[in-house]
Structures are given as C-alpha cells and as structure tokens.
Chains A and B, each alone.
Chain A
C-alpha cells in the first residue's frame, strides 16, 4: 500500500483537486488511476496539492543582513508560514535596491510599500520596506521589510488603504524607537571619540607628534565630524513627545515588574546583560536584533503587527461582511438591543443626521478609514496570548518576556487612547463574549433535545471537519473581540479533538432563517455515506401555520446552486440599488461579495437564505426613506450563530415629530461631523467614547443573564393572551409579574423568558429584576421595565400597589392567571408569537422570535409623504407605539451618551410613557 501511495502521490493531488472543483473531470480519469482510498487531510485540503503553498496568512519581518543577505526574522504567528519557503520569499522581497539615489554622506531613507504577486504560487504580499540605523552596521543602515503574506489577493486590494496605513504605523514605531537608540549610540560614540582624541594627545605630549599619531587624530576628528553631522540630521526628527512618553512609560512598567519577574528586563539595562546571555550570535560578529535596534519601538510595532495579523487573517468574507456591517453598528449609542441576544443596528449610521429634520440627507464619505481601526483596536484583547508566545520564541536576541507583553499591551492602550476609550473596547468585547457564550450554552442544551441523529463513524469526519473549520472561522469573527482567549482556543481544541461528531457541531451549521414571510429554512448537513454526499433537508414553513413541508434533496449540488443563484441575484440587486445612492466603492464592495460568496465554503453558503433576499432589497431600497427624513433601524439577529450578522431585518422607521427630538439628535452628531475626515482614529474614538458605553455591555457574572428568553415558548404555550404583556414590554410600560413567595420559581422564569423583549436590558441590566419584595417607585419606573414582584400572603394586589403606580404598569398575576394591561391591536406581536406551536424546541423558537422583530411591510407608503405614511401606519395602531418607543430608546441612548461624553452634571431622565390606554383584564 505504501508503494501505491508513492506511486499515485502526484495523481492523487491532482485528482483531489479535481474532485474538489469538478465532478465531470473526475469521471474522465481512468479507473485504475483512481485511488482506492482517500487521504483525509481535512485541515487544509489545498496542501495536498503543493506543500509549499500558503495555507494561512502570516506576517513576515525580514531583513537584508550584511552578513547573510536576505533572511527572514520573525513570522507572526511563529509557525504561520507552514511549509512555505521563507528563505526564498525573503530573498524575493528583499532584493530591491532601496538607495536608488546615491548621495554623499548620511541621509534618511524613505519607506516604500510594494505589493508582490506570485500568481503561480498563489502568494500575494504587501511589503513595507524601511531602514533602521545601526551604529555598528555597514553604512549605519539595516534594511528591513515587514510584509503581510496572504493567498487571497483581494484582501490586499480591498483593504489596501487600511493595510498600508497600519503598516506605516508599525514602521513608525520601529523607526522612532530605532532613532532614539541610534542617537544614544552616536552620542556615546562621540564621547568615545573625544575621549580617544584626548587620550592620544595626552599619550603623545611631545611637541612633535609622529605622523601616525597625527593621522590617527585626523581620523578621529573626521569621524567625530561625521557623527556630528549625522546627529544634526537625526536630532530634529526626534520630536514625537507622545511616542517618547509611551516608551518611557513602558520602561517604567518594565522596571516595576522586573523585581518580580526575572525575564522582563528593562531594555535600557539590556546592554549590560546582553552580552552574557546571547548565545545565538552568528558569525562571531554582533549584528543587533530588532529589539536592540528599536528598543520599545520593536515591542510596540510587533504588537501592532500581531493585531494586524489577527484582524486580517480571517476569511475575506468575514472581513468584508464586518466592514459592511460595522457601519450599521456605529455609533454605539444608536444600537437597539433586545434582551441580551438581539441587536438592532442603526441603518442610517452613515447618514448626516443633522439634516434629518429637514429634507436633505447626504452620505458621509470618510467611512473607510474608520472601520478597520475600530476593529483592530477591539482585536487587541488578551486572546492574542498564543501568538505572543510564538513570537517571543522567535526573538533570538532577547529573553522570553511575554509576561511583559501582556503588561505593555495594556499600557500601549492607555497611551493610544485614554482610559475611558479603552474601557469601551473592553466592554464591546464582552458583548460578543456573552453572545458566544450564550450560543454555546444553547448548543449544549440542544444537544440533549435533538436525540435522533445517526452518524456513520467512518467517514463523516471530513464533513465534520469542514464544519469545524467553518466554525473556527466564525468563532474568529465572533470571538475575536472575545477577551477571554482561553475560552476561544479551548473551544476549537475540543472541536478538533472530537472523534465522533458531536450533534452540537452539526447544530451549529444548521441554519434557521426566518423572515416576515414566515418562511423557515432549516437545513442540516449530515454526512451519511462514504462519498460524503450531503443530504440537505429543507423545511419550508409557509405562512399561516401550514404544516411543514419537508423536501429532502439528495443532490446537495442542486440545493447549493439554488442558494448561490439567489445570493447572486440578491447581491446584484442590492448593488444596483446602492449604486446610485452610495459611492462607487460601496457597489464594488457588494460585487466583491458576490464573487466571494460563490467561492465560499459550502456550509458557509447555507448561511444566506432565500428569504433574506427580499429583505435585503427592501432594506436598501429603504434608503429612499432618508429623503422623507425618516429614521430606520435594522435588526440583526446576532445570536443566531450560523448567520450572525448576515441576517438582518429591517425593523423600524420613525418620524421625529417634536422638534426637540431633532435638536437632541443633532447635538451629539454635530461633533462627529466637526472632526476632520482624515482623522479616522479620532473619529472612531468619538463614536465609541463615553462612560455610558461601559454601562452598555456590563460584565455580569450571573449565569442566568446568558439565557434570557429561555422558557419563552413554555410561557407562551402554557399561558394565553400574552400579547398585551409583550406589547407593554415593547412600548416601555413596566410589567410587574406578581406572585406570592410560593410562585417565586415561576415568576423568576417568566422574567427570564420575557427579558428578551426588553429593549433597554443590555444597557441597563437592572431594568429587569427577577424577584423583588419592594414595590417599585415612580422614579424606578424610568429604568425598571420588568419586575417579578413578591406579594405578601395577606396583602391583596390592590393594597400592595399605590394608585399612581398601578396606572403606569402592566400587572400579571401569576396566581390568578390574570393580566391587567392595555389591550393590543396590531399585527406585529401576533405574527411574532403565532408560531409558538410550530416549534417544538425552545431554541428554534427563540431564534425565530429574534429574527422576527420585523414590521409589516408597506412598501408603497414608504414613498409617500410623512403624514400619509403615518396615516397608513395607523392601521395597526398599537404597532406604532412599539416603533415609537424603540425609536425613543435609541434617542435617549444618543442623548445619554452625549451627556456622558461631555461629563455634564446631570443626565436627562428617561421618560415614562403614559399612553392613558384603557386597561383590560385578560385571563391567561
């Protein structure tokens, strides 16, 4: 067998390759040439073809050594290059002549950036060349290059500006640190020369010096003149006080931690320790390493590189999707959340809201600079720990000091932004963390709920692996902001380990999409036979509670083709809509996505569903609403793990009737507009600054916080007439769930289940109290939205609640099974909970509800004027209130953030809406 493997090795690669992409070709291969088995190489199928081919992106730091020529120095991550021939590549990138214009004496060489394409090897690199100065080097120069190497050319093209800017920044750290070191070296050298000169004079104190001595003195004099000359060039360049402070602070921190940790040595003291420790020096000549050359600049630069790598190494699809979607997530205060799982994005994020009051609106154009930075900053959480370790081992000239790296990273943050802003980054990460954790939890529970899945042990491996890869990919997006790195790596490890595919893994890829058409797609990928053909179950749940039709398609290809077709259609349509609205760039983005989606992993392609198509179009068409000065929001069902951000639903629109709203709205936004477009980072900071965002996604160690919404199905099936209750929650009317102490468990579970309807819950976790014995006061009602209230046995409900409170709240008496609430007459909630009987599993229903925060479409009315628009909306009287309330929530988030940013003494109070509705008693 071994022989045959060798024999067919080349063919195998070829066939595997064909098998991947073309079934027809496969059949043309003679039968004898088809191997009897298939090598399972799931982690990277491409590597079957050529071991040298690039499997994942990495960053390479290379230098042109005067001793060895081009050589690779550091890769990020350490083993990132895989089998890739780094030496060859280093030669390739370093074989450029930087000093094209030869001038006399010392001069500063400018950086330059190159994009290298090796289409044959499918390797593309963004190379940033820069020169460091070394007093010990020939001509004082040490050419270096940092390059981002990827197999995906589009990444470099699409994110060219971002990568270029980031690289420049990295080089700046290196170079500035280097210049400081170089200056110090030269000054020291100058002193040495002076000393030598004096020494020579003193030694030859006679009147007539011998010629040799005179020559020596002349030599020294010319040397010192040259050094002086260089210093006059270097010194004026060292003006970046911020950078120096930053390095100084790092130095300070290192000094502090030095006492406890042996391996973190202050770099300034390095010189003394250096020579004793360094055993890896080559060719007997000391060529200083990057860290010695750049001092803290190297640390900073490498850190930044790690972040860049972490950000851009992800799949192009994700990057692009993220780029598209982050626009909608800005500003943070514009986010509308439901429970702790659902996120509605501000769809008009990039629209000049100052003009909202009037008719005109324009799209701002400086978005491209902001987004990646925003994310890069978010990426730099502790989960880069692994790459730290890998990196430090590649430092040949410095002891392992990753312990410091952790310290310095936070300090680096402090310097880049102020503390507040750092907090925000942190807090944002917790959002994603909680979500991911939650999804994990849900996966776990669904494991027990879906018992009858049969798997062949033999060959499902590959498909599972596919899934795992896919999950890994997704987790990278979801969890890249996750600050608990261990959690992340653990998860992926588990996945790799699992021999028998866990149902939960399958479940992860299972995509359940819902739209307002009530169309449900459930697709499960299961591998059932040796040929890895996947069976896809497509379940259509059509409108009006029809019994689910199940179409089983044996040929998965058909299914995918269908999906792809729809995707394309969808994207091209959105493109066309976008084209005249936004810049050409946006449409390019969309086209890119079209391309990309076709190439996507199969499981990935499931993510998009047909139902989405209409919505997408609708959403983009809605930008016409801008002209009617309407505000709309788009809901993303974030929790739905398979499709996370891709699934977004248009939720709401609203006219700001009162002029005060306009004033208040434009206040925080005015400032954003004021900042110059070029100053991208500042802009982002403004977007995300303010302590209120700390409140927004607080770290809550309560475990049950993760499971809000769980039990909703049970609640809805066991109790009737829940619409008024949900209506109250969605209109901001405080809901009291009252029960005696014997009902404590029930009440608590109700609160937990209903929490997902509280739009302010994310920002104020205290807006929901599962069990309380004190009656809320009027002041509390501004923030308290859902309270489980303990009623003493002897006190009746009427006596418990004062009249003033009773009129403002909705009461559910668990004991009597009675709801006292304003009645609901609308369509929204009814459609939302109409499906409760269709879903047997809690999670699926939850995802349905989450994705179902949609308003009934009234496309004609969009185009009409404001008043008719409202009038038409008036058909569903109560739904208007919901939309109004949600818009109010967003408005107040904006206002509060604005006030927190300005550190005003008082923050506007959130209003309590008293709609003076007729309350009715519903039996439930």
Chain B
C-alpha cells in the first residue's frame, strides 16, 4: 500500500478498509431541511432529447449545452429560456469552442462532432455560418490558440485551422492507435495532447515572419513524447505558466513542467488501483486548478484537494457520493464546492460556520476561494509546517432533481448553477433569496 493510499484510507478508521464492501460505505445523508443550501429555485430546461454532455458558458447571460441528440442549445441563463437551437450535426456533438474574432463583434461557436464536421455558428443570430469538413475524421476536441487567430482540432487527426476556417496544417497520426482526447496549449507555443496513456508535445510553428507574407502559416510538428501514465489519461489541466497536470484512470496525478516537459511531482499513486471488478475506485474524472496552487480532483466517488506548493493532500472526502463524481466546480465564490455524480445528485460541500459568523460573513472575510471553502481558521492551521491536518468538508446541500447521472455542472452569473445530465435536462439552480435563506446569510434565523 502506497503512502497515498494510506493517506486516502486514513479517513476510514476501519483497519480492514480493503475488505469493506463498497455497498457498505458511509455516504453522508442530508435531512430534508438544508439550511445552507442557497439553490432553492430550480428551473428545468427541456429541449434535448438525449444525454447532455457539456455546458459551456458564453458570457454572463448565455450558455450553450450540447448533447448526444446532435443539438446545441443556446440558453439565456438569467431568464432561463431557450434562445436558439443549433441543429445541423448528424452525430453527437463532442466538443465546443468559443472563438473570439478580433475583427468581428459577433460571437462564434465551433462545434465538433463525430460526424466529422466542425460547424461554426453565429450565436447572435443562431445560424450556422460555416461547415468545415476537411477534418475528415471524427472530432474529439477543439482548442483555440491564445493570441492567434487560429484553432486546433483533435481526434483521429490533428489539424490547425485559421480563424476563418481555412486548413493551415495537419499532422499525420495514422501510425497512432488512440484518438486525441485532450489538448492543452502551453505558454511557450507548445501543444500537449493526450491520447490514451500517452502525452505528446507538438510545436505549432509560426511562419509568418519567415515568409514575409501577412498570411499566417502554421505547421504542427511533434517535439516530444512524454513518459506515459499507467492508465488512460482522463484529465489535463493547466496549473500555471510553468506547470500543467494530468490525471489518469488509476488515480495518479502528475505535475509536468512546461519548460522541460518532465514530471515534477506525482500525487496519489495507488498501488492497487484497479480495485474490485476493475472499477478503478480512484480514477480521476475531473480536475480543476485553483489559484495556480491547488488542484481539486474528482477521485472515484470522492474528491481531494492537493497543494502543489507544500505537495500535500489538504482536503479530502472519500465517499462524497454513492457513485463516481463526474464533475466538480466551486460555486458562490468558493463558499461551496459542487460535485455532481453518476448517482444523479449534485452535492454542495463546505464548512459549517462556527461561532457567531454566518456563512456570508465568513465568506466576506476570506481572501481566496480555498480560504472560503475551508474556512479561514483551517487555512491558518494548515499553514503550520509539519501539521498534517486534512480538512474534511461537510455536506451542506444536496440538489436533487436529475433522474440520471449528472454529467456537468458550471456556475454562471454568480447566482446560478447549471447542471446537465443523462436525462436530457439542463437544470438551472438559482439562488432565490428567500427570507429563509436570507436569514442564514444575515444571521436572523
């Protein structure tokens, strides 16, 4: 048993943690009354007819949801009404990309689908303005390059496109088996792709000056193959300018330097990662990076917060849900961590306010998201060297409305949380300032 595994298990005081059946694990249960749950208003948005996979925030007011029903729907979040239904794809949409056009004030949305098309939509008019078919293979991921009017599409192939949809360059991946599932663009103009266990680094060469023409020329060349993970990479996340992280099915999180492209640190190495019936109980489903220092990862049916600076696990919840946590995000300025799971629930985690301070007041005092999430005092305690305190957050709320796995949650506009799931619903959870809820924030109740 590795050190991480021991740490991971330390919450479970039972000595025979390995033998304990997953069915018997203690998952927090909330009463009907949820005094700390601010999302008292829910608005089911029903257009999709199949699994809704992805939610992408366009701006403060608008959001796009895409699903397996080949549709992308643009929603007005504030009023919770449909703005446009973007239909045209013939296969499920796998990825979306918002494109900032420098010359054009219109918002462009790119959708990649397994029907081998990339479609460009004008979000202000709800129309498809361009269909890019030169990809020729199923599109798995899209990424826009910062500071350049170009974007990259990945999947079976790897292509570089100009902002107006012209194919600039493509990289021949015919020798590789797995599709590119994740992409990341580092500061030094390098592209990192993940396909199955492998990570590769490409350079996107800017040839503008060389040719002395104004037209942008790009070329993708493979620069490096990184040492592989033990299992398929599930998440790739940018930590800072000099660091990115990858998480895989076995639960390992590797920090990579963007300078040397070598692993700088490895968190969460599990020795028996496959678990019972190859369920991969520690698999990483999702990771977010907070303040360029912390990595919050959805691990199995729980989640954990790692501090990159001190290289420590500072917060964990092993059995947060009955099933795997699919997505997590901080809501309400970090007051809550929202996790969604295959068990159909969204749970809100945080610390129960102690003393005279209410949640709102405590949130005001904190400086950062993590401070707000863990509470100021905890943060202070944690800062002592040699102190091995691991914060275990409390279940503060449960948003139950989906009738199947919740695929994605995002926060938008400060008072809304959107969730989507396999039941085809997009649900907007709103902070409805009832007097009841208000009471908890103002301390009157």
Contacts and interface: CB of A to CB of B under 8 A. Distances in A.
A915 B33 CA distance: 8
A918 B436 CA distance: 13
Interface stretch (B41-49, B222-230, B365-373): B41-49
Nearest to B73: A906
Interface string A880-924: 110010000000000100010000111111111111111100000
B425 interface: yes
Given A782-B44, A909-B81, A658 B433 contact: yes
Interface residues of B, number: 42
Given A658-B433, A911-B432, A904 B42 contact: no
Interface stretch (B132-140, B180-188, B238-246, B399-407): B399-407
Contacts of B83: 905-906
Given A779-B425, A904-B81, A909-B43, A884 B434 contact: yes
A804 interface: yes
Nearest to A874: B435
A912 B430 CA distance: 10
Contact of B436 (A658, A664, A778, A915): A915
Contacts of A781: 44
Interface string B32-74: 1111010111111110000000000000000000000000000
Interface residues of A, number: 41
A911 B429 CA distance: 9
A756 to B, nearest CB: 25
Contact of A880 (B400, B428, B435): B435
Contacts of B155: none
A906 B33 contact: no
Nearest to A808: B401
Nearest to A655: B435
B429 to A, nearest CB: 9
A859 interface: no
Contacts, number: 105
B81 A807 contact: no
Q: Which of A777, A915, A917 has the most CB of B within 10 A?
A: A915
Interface string A552-575: 000000000000000000000000
A91 interface: no
A906 B63 CA distance: 14
Given A912-B41, A914-B41, A916-B40, A906 B444 contact: no
B350 to A, nearest CB: 15
B435 A910 contact: no
Given A909-B43, A911-B432, A917-B32, A899 B81 contact: yes
Contacts of A884: 434-435
A802 interface: yes
A804 B402 contact: yes
A494 interface: no
A908 B79 contact: yes
Contacts of B403: 777-778, 802, 804
B81 A907 contact: yes
Nearest to A873: B435
A56 to B, nearest CB: 52
Given A778-B44, A778-B403, A911 B444 contact: no
A874 B401 CA distance: 29
B381 to A, nearest CB: 31
Contacts of B435: 870, 873-874, 877, 880, 884
A904 B81 CA distance: 10
Contacts of B344: 803-804
B82 interface: yes
A27 B78 CA distance: 76
A276 interface: no
Contacts of A202: none
Contacts of A870: 435
A913 B444 CA distance: 21
A871 interface: yes
Contacts of B402: 778, 804
Interface in B402-445: 402-403, 415, 423, 425, 427-428, 430, 432-436, 438-439, 444
Contact of A779 (B46, B430, B436, B444): B46
Given A782-B44, A899-B81, A807 B32 contact: yes
A916 B33 contact: yes
A777 B82 CA distance: 20
Contacts of A799: none
Contacts of A778: 44, 401-403, 423, 425, 427
Interface string A858-883: 00000000000011011001001100
B198 interface: no
Nearest to A867: B442
Interface string A233-244: 000000000000
B40 A918 contact: no
A664 B81 CA distance: 13
Contacts of A917: 32-33
Given A910-B43, A913-B40, A658 B432 contact: yes
Given A874-B444, A908-B80, A803 B400 contact: yes
A119 to B, nearest CB: 60
A657 interface: yes
A914 B438 contact: no
A329 to B, nearest CB: 26
Interface in B142-193: none
Nearest to B439: A874
A622 B102 CA distance: 55
A816 interface: no
Interface string B346-369: 000000000000000000000000
A715 to B, nearest CB: 26
B81 A908 contact: yes
Contacts of B434: 881, 884, 913, 915
A74 B430 CA distance: 64
A918 B31 contact: yes
A918 B31 CA distance: 7
Contact of B42 (A657, A895, A911): A911
A138 interface: no
B333 interface: no
B84 interface: yes
B122 interface: no
Contacts of A777: 403
B79 A895 contact: yes
A918 B32 contact: yes
Contacts of B76: 906, 908
Given A907-B81, A908-B80, A657 B438 contact: yes
Contacts of A909: 43-45, 80-81, 428
A660 interface: yes
Interface in A640-674: 657-658, 660, 664
Contacts of A871: 444
A912 B44 contact: yes
Contacts of B39: 914
A804 B438 CA distance: 25
Nearest to A656: B433
B435 to A, nearest CB: 5
A20 B82 CA distance: 67
Nearest to A780: B44
A803 B402 CA distance: 10
Nearest to A803: B400
Given A778-B425, A918-B33, A905 B41 contact: no
Interface of A: 657-658, 660, 664, 777-779, 781-782, 802-804, 807-808, 822, 870-871, 873-874, 877, 880-881, 884, 895, 899, 904-919
30 contacts: A658-B432, A778-B401, A778-B402, A779-B425, A781-B44, A803-B344, A804-B403, A870-B435, A871-B444, A873-B435, A874-B439, A877-B436, A880-B435, A881-B436, A884-B435, A905-B83, A905-B84, A906-B76, A907-B81, A908-B80, A908-B81, A909-B80, A911-B41, A911-B43, A914-B41, A916-B37, A916-B397, A918-B31, A918-B32, A919-B32
Which 3 residue pairs of A and B lie closest in terms of their CB atoms, listed nearest first? A906-B82, A906-B81, A916-B34
